[in-house]
Amino acid sequence: MAIISCPRCAKKISDKSQNCQHCQLDMTGMSAERKQHLAIEARDKKMQGVLNQSMLALILFLAGFCFLYFWALEPDGYEAVVSKGMIALGFLWYIYARARLIYLKRKN
C-alpha cells in the first residue's frame, strides 16, 4: 500500500482507496488523465487564493501607511497604534503569502 495525494484536495490518502476520506472525491474508474486534470485545477485554485491573500496584505499595509501619514495626527493617539498595527500585520501577512507562493511553485 502506498500513500498518494488526493487529486482534488491534495491530502494524503491510500492508493488502494476508491474515494478520498477528506473531500469524498469518488475515484472509481477515474482515468489517470482525469486525476491529473483535477490535481492541476486544485493547485491553480490554491495558488490563486494565496495570490489574492498577498494582494489583500499589500492593501492592508498601504492603507496602514496612508492612515499613519494622513489621518493619525497625534503620534501617541490610538489611530497611530491602529495604523502601525495594520502596517506590521500587512507586512508579515504579505511575506507569509509570498513564501507560501514560492513553496507552492517549488513543490510543483
Residues at the contact surface with Zn ion, assessed by CB under 5 A: 6, 8-9, 20, 22-23, 25
Least distance between Zn ion and beta carbon 45 (Å): 13
Distance CA 85, CA 75 (A): 14
Please give the helix or strand (H or E) that residue 13 lies within, else none: strand 12-14
Taking the least distance from each CB to Zn ion, the nearer of 10 and 80 is 10
Least distance between Zn ion and beta carbon 27 (Å): 9
For helices 32-70 and 78-107, angle between their N-to-C axes, nearest 10 degrees: 160
Taking the least distance from each CB to Zn ion, the nearer of 25 and 57 is 25
Tell me the backbone φ, ψ of residue 12, rounded to 5 degrees: -75, 130
Least distance between Zn ion and beta carbon 106 (Å): 22
